[in-house]
Amino acid sequence: MKLFNKYPFLIGEISFNYYDLAKKEELSYFRVAKLLIEKCSECGINGVNFHVGDSEYLHCKYEEDSNQTDQLSFDEYKELAEYCKKLGLVFIITPANIEIVDKLNDVVDVYKISSSDLTNLPLIDYISNKHKPILLSTAASNLREIKSAVKCIEDNSNFKIIIMHSVLSYPTKLEDANLLMIKDLSEQFKDYDVGYSDYTVSDNFMFILTTAYQYGAVVLEKYFTLDKSFEGHEFAMDEEDARIVRLSANVLSKINGYKNKQPLICESFSKRNVRKSIVAKRDIKSGEIIDNSNIDFKRPGVGISPSKVDDIIGKNANRDISKGSLIEYDMLS
């Protein structure tokens, strides 16, 4: 499978979002996780991301335990990875520790480094030695920390790195999104693509993600859910949101066009007809000197351009030229 073969590459961050839906519908976590993958495939999402790891790995004994513990087995994750492959989706995991990397490496297409592990260089070192593409979350970080993590990856692997802008605030307020940081990351890390993980509450037009794409984020990630009414799901996207992102991004790709200013093929006919040529303002007799009194500039632009007027001023007409006729070089001597 060729990875990141479509930009923007849209990721549905399933994470632990299967919990609430499974409890509501009285279904197994695995069945709901598989359903979420299927819905991602149907609405134009390119890859899915699962956070793999439970509270034993995420919290020390001095910290309050999380009430969200991993309910999927490694075998179930492998089945989900195979299902992604069948549907043409990229299977991404955000691992909490080295053991998880070892257990799932054979089925993982892409690793994501959580912003909580941006300074966990031992884990980054271990993951980068698996020689797979890496999404590097940069939430709550400074450039020194990001560069240190990037160097750690570069020391071990030459695989693709995507620098992901995100904000460690759930949900992220609009005034905290700071999408201009995408442009800064693009300038600071010119050798790598930049992406954006969005945790703002979705609007009807998915303006945040489409703006991020316009600003240069070629990988877009957002939590995915089937029901935004669940607590904690309000800043996720659903199927309709994903379709809007894909549609809007396609429109942006079309209207952005070429960066370098140049005439376009679609302009060629109009350009010919609206540009002007040098014409005889009145009848010009053979032997008469061409000057500003006997020339004019009119459409279409199929003759000598007005920009070349200095090339013909002072020349003699070598034949009679009727009023309104295009003046050509072979008429002059």
- Which tops the pLDDT comparison, 147 or 57? 147
- In the predicted model, what is the mean pLDDT of the chain? 92
Q: Do 305 and 247 sit in the same domain of this protein?
A: no
Q: Do 154 and 295 sit in the same domain of this protein?
A: no
Final residue belonging to a domain, choices 214, 238, 256 = 256
Average pLDDT over residues 306-317: 96
Task: Report the pLDDT value the prediction gives residue 257, as an integer from 0 to 100.
Answer: 85
Number of independent structural domains in the chain: 2
Average pLDDT over residues 276-296: 97
Residue 4 lies in a domain: no
Q: What is the DSSP letter of 200?
A: S
Residue type for position 107: V
Task: Report the pLDDT value the prediction gives residue 53, as an integer from 0 to 100.
Answer: 87
Task: Report the pLDDT value the prediction gives residue 158, as an integer from 0 to 100.
Answer: 87
Q: Do 78 and 171 sit in the same domain of this protein?
A: yes
Residue type for position 218: V
Task: Report the pLDDT value the prediction gives residue 161, as an integer from 0 to 100.
Answer: 95
Residue 221's DSSP bridge partners are 11, 197
What is the CA angle 132-109-97, rounded to 5?
70
Q: Do 91 and 123 sit in the same domain of this protein?
A: yes
Task: Report the pLDDT value the prediction gives residue 7, as an integer from 0 to 100.
Answer: 84
Q: Do 319 and 211 sit in the same domain of this protein?
A: no
State the Cα–Cα distance between residues 141 and 165, nearest whole angstrom: 10
Classify burial at 258, counting beta carbons within 10 Å of its beta carbon; exposed 0-12, middle 13-18, buried 19 or more. Answer: exposed
Residue 323 lies in a domain: yes
Residue 239 lies in a domain: yes
State the Cα–Cα distance between residues 232 and 219, nearest whole angstrom: 23
Q: Do 175 and 286 sit in the same domain of this protein?
A: no
pTM: 0.85
Residue 1 lies in a domain: no
Token pair of 198 as six digits: 């969005």
Q: Do 33 and 178 sit in the same domain of this protein?
A: yes
Q: Are 223 and 242 in contact (CB under 8 A)?
A: no
Q: Do 141 and 199 sit in the same domain of this protein?
A: yes
Q: Do 183 and 80 sit in the same domain of this protein?
A: yes
pLDDT range class, residue 70, cuts 50, 70, 90: low
Average pLDDT over residues 240-255: 94
Residue 304 lies in a domain: yes
Residue 250 lies in a domain: yes
Average pLDDT over residues 153-159: 92
Task: Report the pLDDT value the prediction gives residue 256, as an integer from 0 to 100.
Answer: 87
Q: Do 218 and 175 sit in the same domain of this protein?
A: yes
Q: Are 276 and 264 in contact (CB under 8 A)?
A: no
Residue type for position 178: N
Task: Check pLDDT > 80 for residue 317.
Answer: yes
pLDDT range class, residue 65, cuts 50, 70, 90: very low
Residue 3 lies in a domain: no
* 73-94 pLDDT per residue, tens: 999 999 999 999 999 999 999 9
Strand 193-198, strand 161-165: pairing: parallel
Token pair of 294 as six digits: 């006997």
What's 146's domain CATH number? 3.20.20.70
Residue 2 lies in a domain: no
What's 324's domain CATH number? 3.90.1210.10
Task: Report the pLDDT value the prediction gives residue 159, as an integer from 0 to 100.
Answer: 86
Task: Check pLDDT > 90 for residue 169.
Answer: yes
Final residue belonging to a domain, choices 256, 274, 292 = 256
* 192-214 pLDDT per residue, tens: 999 999 999 999 999 999 999 99
Average pLDDT over residues 307-317: 96
Task: Report the pLDDT value the prediction gives residue 69, as an integer from 0 to 100.
Answer: 56
pLDDT range class, residue 61, cuts 50, 70, 90: very low
Q: Do 224 and 244 sit in the same domain of this protein?
A: yes
Final residue belonging to a domain, choices 227, 256, 285 = 256
Q: Which range of residues forms the domain containing residue 291? A: 265-331
Average pLDDT over residues 307-314: 96
Task: Report the pLDDT value the prediction gives residue 57, as an integer from 0 to 100.
Answer: 42
Task: Report the pLDDT value the prediction gives residue 6, as an integer from 0 to 100.
Answer: 73
State the Cα–Cα distance between residues 60 and 210, nearest whole angstrom: 38
Q: Do 165 and 275 sit in the same domain of this protein?
A: no
Task: Check pLDDT > 70 for residue 321.
Answer: yes
* 210-230 pLDDT per residue, tens: 999 999 999 999 999 999 999
